[in-house]
Chains A and B, each alone.
Chain A
Amino acid sequence: MALPFDPAAKFQEYARPEMLVSTDWLAAHLNDPGLVVAESDEDVLLYETGHIPGAVKLDWHTELNDPVSRDYVDGAGFARLMSDKGISRDSTLVLYGDRNNWWAAYALWVCTLFGHPDLRLLDGGRAKWIAEGREMTTEVPERPRTEYPVIERDDSSARAFRDEVQAHLGQPLIDVRSPGEYTGELLHMPDYPQEGALRGGHIPGARSVPWSRAAAEDATFRTRAELEAIYAGEAELRPADDVVVYCRIGERSSHTWFVLHHLLGYPHVRNYDGSWTEWGNSVRAPIRRGAQP
């Protein structure tokens, strides 16, 4: 059974206010039946150091990816994972995590491919919950196993593949990587491991809007007006635009996908999860270097 939406005034400005909950809301509803909270972090051990009471752990590397093929788990794999975590198809699933909800947004995007009906992000994520001195625990909850149905993954509306991006050239693209990765000076994030792209630069026509610009200093999302100024103003996206977002492997761009689709209401936004590690290695894929789109 779905939980009530968070009526916080800030969220009502967004296109889909129901996609966010505040730390206040979560603290008040933490023990409600029908709610499952899941933490998804970059660091695979962070959950073990302490998490929101009752929260389960959801790891993208080891759980959401197919272990062999470069793809996500299939319908049966997702059903098994959700069942093991004690998540039902009708659970209200609130995701949160480290680094401005970067990985939580990624997990939310993957859950979207399986059409989980009620997905929400905790605005401000792990950092805000801790900064407010709220309760943390190392106790791992034992949620009873559920029977999550096998739902085939639907990649058609929120996910873009390389051929589709090729066909999309000339239409709006947002590159959410760091400026150095965009211009081609860097092949990977500053201070991060090289994850294997042979060429540097960006997809021709892509605008550079680093993903973290959508987050405020306290890790919450910027207000609708601030986001409009960035994406409609600077990046010149128009209301009905068909937009493809990408980064290096599709995780940072999940955050921007969430902002564009759910907070700003762009109807058709797809995340190209092949991203630069695919495009920058593809023979004869067009590449632009430098600061110009």
Chain B
Amino acid sequence: MTTDSGTLNPRLREISEDFTALPDSERLQLLLEFAGELPPLPARYAEHHDQLEQVPECQSPLFLAVEVGADGIVHLFFDAPPEAPTTRGFAGILHAGLDGLDADEVLRTPGEFSAQLGLQDLVSPLRLRGLAAMLARIKRQVREQRA
């Protein structure tokens, strides 16, 4: 896990506040909502799965793709099976919090963001490593594509 410092963009900050404002019993429901809101993979990736990067740190299989446009805007694509709702929920959070942002803003996301959702006791630190790993891989891809 990276420990680079950075600032949460307003969307991620709002997500973090939404989670931590809830009682424990409702936080998993919110995670499940993010799982449900994860957009399906567009055909250009669904038909070319080899263009996705696997995130083996997630407990269940997760694949992602990152596109940085000429305008520096980042778009994110995720694929995780419905029987892996936790992993889908993590992907949904990152999609809601980062998709459509400028590359610099994405790169400023702190690596320890996963610890700011109040999920450690509900989900376990081991499972949360999957979220941190997704973020780290997204940031690496953004850096590579901008280089």
Contact = CB atoms under 8 A, between A and B. Distances in A.
Contact of B59 (A43, A48, A67, A194): A43
Nearest to B89: A45
A100 to B, nearest CB: 13
Interface residues of A, number: 16
Nearest to B31: A45
Interface in B85-122: 85-87, 89, 121-122
Contact of B86 (A43, A192, A194): A43
Given A191-B61, A193-B130, A44 B122 contact: yes
B142 to A, nearest CB: 22
Contacts of A69: none
Contacts of A48: 28-29, 32, 85
B126 A192 contact: no
B86 A45 contact: yes
Contacts, number: 57
Contacts of B54: 191
A43 B83 contact: yes
B54, B60, B130, most chain A CB atoms within 10 A: B60
Contacts of B38: none
Contacts of A156: none
Contacts of B121: 62, 67
Q: How large is the interface on B (under 10, 10 to 19, 20 to 34, 35 or more residues)?
A: 20 to 34
A98 interface: yes
Nearest to A60: B124
B57 A49 contact: no
A42 B124 CA distance: 12
B13 interface: no
Contacts of B85: 43, 45-46, 48-49
Interface string A87-100: 00000000000100
B22 interface: no
Nearest to B82: A49
A195 B129 CA distance: 11
Interface of B: 28-29, 31-32, 35, 54, 56-61, 82-87, 89, 121-124, 126-127, 129-130, 133
